Chains A and B, each alone.
Chain A
């Protein structure tokens, strides 16, 4: 069969979505993607995060390698300039021609710049692409203040970006309020108050008539009402216009005010050409959000399959965070339906505004506005999308603190309910996937892609999956092992609430049997996190893994490695000499670790106390390399030496390492501090990482190197030292309280209901009201820190443990070394046998 040639013009979010879905369909297809921008598709929705520390790669949706793997030819950085409908070819700016059987136009939109005199000055920019951000950054360097023209969704996103650049930020809007399309006037007022509290100046009802040279600043904006505003740069974000030039010149039908006219199948006036996304005029309307664009792509794709899905419009409900303020808008936000009723809750102290609009008979939800608190969004959206009958008192849905708030149960949703609007996954599709054997949350996500977009539906999805599992009689078992019918988190709470201090006590009151190598170390870790007693205290001794018992890391031959703590990786020549002397005296294999420390291998059990005596006498402390505990805080050299450093990263690393050393946790914890955005300490691969900014520190959480690397998420920006430490205290203690056994922070976050937003609410906003308690608990542990090796050396009873034989001073004859590259290493089995026969 001849492959059908499909050419996709435009590699934005929608064009990429189409290409990727197309590659998954049974072909054969010959797919070509042509994009004008030099980089493959990226997430435009989160563009402003570039200024909060994200890199362009972090926003990438596609890569050349990914396209190659999918068998897609990607031509990037080369715009299509003409369509020859007769010959069925497109021509690029470089004169290359590509033939098509089916052409898909996903050319997107361009920012609307109103025809104002002066708008063409170099200090006037637009906000749409990563390259635009580069220009904004350049202008910002020469600016103190900036103004955004446009107070809609994009304009406020842009204001966020400018604020991140440290500029005095103004928002100038023509209409009387911000986000006029999505909010009602009262909601708009609330948003304005909250944004102004963040020091963004808002000017509404202002029509800019002219841009001229300014007095105190580079520019002056003149308003129709005679007023004006001095500013150094201007960014236009006053709406979008469909990018339809190519279609227009090819003679395709376009709308009066622009947009490529398409039918229900997203077909243009030429039946071999489709248009999807922001360039398409569907039902006489341009859809400026990404989700409807995806639905158009689905409709166009379905024309290549048996099942034809029409595009009949899309829900424009949206939930987002603007300048840190939660904003949600559902359906008819303004309450325009005749006879409709509305309910409002407004709290000016807490800055929360909620409104629902319901039908005249009070049965259906028609729309909603949420400002300052979007916790109810998911539930309200389900009522709206699925036409679920409202409770008798609909106000209960938005009133705070009511214990009888009706919960929308997973079971009450119809199968047609769309749970994940990013990927258009219905409850029916979830159940179908579970029928097909996907019997866990992870498996359902993998099978349906639900909750892998914005993640807003995570809690709802889990509810549906859990309810379905329960209905199928599958028990969700998170018991730690056969001896306790509890999860680690539950055991932690039991020990804390009941003040349990020993394993025996816990086993007796809440367990059965004798315990095992799973529950014993887990409980030991919980007890250490709670009470911080020495791990070799008599009642704890039998609970520890060998590494914790002997305060060293067992290697394959039964010997141990020794890692002294070198906080922040800073070490004096004299300290280096001590380590060198010890290594030489005990003939230890010596290696530099990835965490800026020195690892000494090949110590026999009986040698450990002698080695540590020398190290402790020279001022070293244990490095806890053996424990599920804080390991290292890596650092770059920072502003002290580096030409680029903006803060003293070594001093901060020392502070952090010395504060949290010895802290026991469900798994090891690593950290790093970088002195500037060049990020030489690789802080974004750590459980918590700190990166210096001009104004303080950015905190990243839940990164991970190793087998399944994960970039840390940006958690908070521009923190002062005190706030930084406070957030880390709370973050670590919350992790220790709630994580499962051997769960790194990365996996913990992925499983945490509500994800990063929830974590921020707990740590930054103190939503659970436990912040003070977490800090107090941490300070108790910090205050009771003692070097375990120092304490061990002072206690003859504990030292008795460090004997290979309790009845003999002989060393372990099973430990045999050979030399390689000037250092010892364990003999292989063959080498051992050869040595034994000759020896």
Chain B
């Protein structure tokens, strides 16, 4: 997840910093995949990227969930059935058998960069 790794894959930014919404999520289309981006200025790192698909709700909605923490762990709550997914690991707190894909992401200047297949 270090910017150094990204330089090999990311050519153009996937979107700009001003497209992000503080303490909330947006969605980008990146190489045919829907990716949810969360910008949390108070955290380190401040940017998180996970798959936009809620595998339990079977819809592309995670960018529209509320972010927060459960027991200190950063999570997004799916707007469909309120399952919590960890932003760092992709783990579902309510169901061990389910997880979502996590992408390496970083801010470089004003650009947001994602490494595919991370």
Tell whether A and B belong to one assembly.
yes
Residues of A within 8 A of B (CB): 482-483, 513-517, 519-521, 538, 541-547, 549-550, 554, 556-558, 605, 800-801, 803-808, 810, 812, 814-815, 829
CB–CB A807/B69 < 8 A: no
Q: Contacts A542-B23, A806-B15 given: A556-B80 contact, CB under 8 Å?
A: yes
Partner of A543, one of B20, B27, B66, B84: B66
Q: Which of A541, A605, A801, A814 has the most CB of B within 10 A?
A: A814
CB–CB B24/A542 < 8 A: yes
Q: Once the chains are docked, how many angstroms separate the CA of A542 from the CA of B63?
A: 11
Q: Contacts A542-B24, A806-B27, A812-B60 given: A520-B66 contact, CB under 8 Å?
A: yes
CB–CB A556/B57 < 8 A: yes
CB–CB B61/A546 < 8 A: yes
Q: Contacts A514-B69, A517-B65, A812-B60 given: A538-B22 contact, CB under 8 Å?
A: yes
CB–CB A805/B61 < 8 A: no
Q: Once the chains are docked, how many angstroms separate the CA of A815 from the CA of B53?
A: 12
For the complex, would chain A's binding face be called helix, strand, loop or mixed by DSSP majority? loop
Instruction: Sort A-B residue pairs by CB-CB distance and give the 4 closest, nearest first.
Output: A516-B68, A517-B77, A542-B23, A558-B59
CB–CB A516/B77 < 8 A: yes
> Can you pick out 22 interface pairs between chain A and chain B where the beta carbons lie within 8 Å of each other?
A482-B70, A483-B68, A514-B43, A514-B69, A516-B69, A517-B65, A517-B77, A517-B82, A521-B66, A541-B22, A542-B24, A542-B66, A542-B67, A545-B66, A546-B61, A546-B79, A549-B64, A803-B26, A807-B28, A807-B30, A812-B60, A814-B34
Q: Once the chains are docked, how many angstroms separate the CA of A800 from the CA of B24?
A: 13
Chain B interface size band reads 35 or more
Q: Which residue of B lies closest to A503 (CB)?
A: B23
Q: Once the chains are docked, how many angstroms separate the CA of A279 from the CA of B66?
A: 66
CB–CB B59/A814 < 8 A: yes
Residues of B within 8 A of A (CB): 14-15, 19-24, 26-30, 34, 40, 42-43, 53, 57-61, 64-72, 74-75, 77, 79-80, 82, 84
Partner of A557, one of B28, B42, B59: B59
- Nearest CB of B to A489, in Å: 22
Complex interface: chain B residues within 8 A of A558 (CB)? 59-61, 80
CB–CB B64/A807 < 8 A: no
Given contacts A516-B68, A542-B67, A807-B30, 19 further A-B pairs with CB under 8 A are: A482-B71, A483-B68, A513-B68, A514-B42, A514-B67, A514-B68, A514-B74, A515-B68, A517-B65, A542-B23, A546-B64, A546-B65, A605-B64, A804-B27, A805-B27, A806-B19, A806-B20, A806-B27, A807-B19
Q: Contacts A538-B22, A810-B29 given: A516-B65 contact, CB under 8 Å?
A: no
Q: Which of B26, B57, B74 has the most CB of A within 10 A?
A: B26
Complex interface: chain B residues within 8 A of A815 (CB)? 60
CB–CB A805/B34 < 8 A: yes
Partner of B24, one of A515, A541, A547, A805: A541
CB–CB A513/B79 < 8 A: no
Complex interface: chain B residues within 8 A of A546 (CB)? 61, 64-65, 79
- Nearest CB of A to B44, in Å: 13
Q: Which residue of B lies closest to A550 (CB)?
A: B64
CB–CB B79/A545 < 8 A: yes
Q: Once the chains are docked, how many angstroms separate the CA of A582 from the CA of B47?
A: 39
- Nearest CB of A to B102, in Å: 19
- Nearest CB of B to A553, in Å: 11
Complex interface: chain A residues within 8 A of B82 (CB)? 517
Complex interface: chain A residues within 8 A of B22 (CB)? 538, 541-542
Complex interface: chain B residues within 8 A of A803 (CB)? 26
- Nearest CB of B to A605, in Å: 8
CB–CB A807/B15 < 8 A: yes
CB–CB B68/A805 < 8 A: no
Q: Contacts A541-B21, A557-B59, A812-B34 given: A517-B68 contact, CB under 8 Å?
A: yes
Q: Once the chains are docked, how many angstroms separate the CA of A812 from the CA of B36?
A: 13
- Nearest CB of B to A742, in Å: 12
Partner of A829, one of B14, B40, B58: B58
Q: Once the chains are docked, how many angstroms separate the CA of A557 from the CA of B59?
A: 5
Q: Which of B43, B66, B72, B74 has the most CB of A within 10 A?
A: B66
Complex interface: chain B residues within 8 A of A547 (CB)? 79
Complex interface: chain B residues within 8 A of A557 (CB)? 59
Partner of B66, one of A516, A810, A814: A516
Q: Once the chains are docked, how many angstroms separate the CA of A482 from the CA of B75?
A: 14
Complex interface: chain A residues within 8 A of B72 (CB)? 513
Complex interface: chain A residues within 8 A of B80 (CB)? 554, 556, 558
Complex interface: chain A residues within 8 A of B65 (CB)? 517, 546
Q: Once the chains are docked, how many angstroms separate the CA of A206 from the CA of B21?
A: 81
Q: Contacts A557-B59, A806-B28 given: A513-B53 contact, CB under 8 Å?
A: no
